Amino acid sequence: MKEYRNEHVIVHWFPELCAHPGTCLRLLPKVFNLDQRPWVNVEGAEPEEIIRTIDKCPTGALRYSLPEGSRVDAQIANGVGSIDFGKTYSAAVKIKVSANGPLFIEGPTVVIGLDGKPLKEGSRIALCRCGLSENRPFCDGVHRKKGWKPDQA
């Protein structure tokens, strides 16, 4: 996990969970920009705008929290992208099939490995459908590079 912070918001990035759908890049390029280093610029937008964008990350690879003394209203920072979100979420789990991409799981989830131990616990997870991921069972976005498309029914 990598952290990017300022006095009002902390962005947590879990690169091993990122399936690279590009949602953050499209919605807020002044903060999320792969051509810059670091690629996350927490000074590029208001913290509330960063929070709204992270709440739309379909994989859970981007999360946020508030540092002590943040001016951000805690009610705004309790969405699906909150680092603490899965701890209080009680709705049913949703599994969404994406076109030519991963399965997106939303809701309190624990992925258990072959050894019976938890691999990932969270409220948003992207699982590989193509079998090409280097990070199975999680999607790493390689399906796009390889041109994978599921059988058409």
Q: What angle do CA 139, 103, 91 make, to 5 degrees?
A: 120
**Are residues 99 and 71 both part of a single domain?**
no
Tens digits of pLDDT across the chain (153 residues): 999 999 999 999 999 899 899 999 999 999 999 999 999 999 999 999 999 999 999 899 999 999 999 999 999 998 889 998 766 555 678 899 988 899 999 988 889 888 888 899 888 999 999 999 999 999 999 998 888 888 654
Structure tokens at 130: 């193509």
Domain with 61, as residue range(s), is: 2-85
Q: Which of 67, 85, 103 is at the close of a domain? A: 85
CATH of the domain at 52: 3.30.70.20
**Are residues 37 and 65 both part of a single domain?**
yes
Q: What is the pTM of this model?
A: 0.69
9 found inside a domain: yes
**Are residues 9 and 63 both part of a single domain?**
yes
Is residue 118 reached through a cis peptide bond, with omega within 30 degrees of 0 on the bond before it? Answer: no
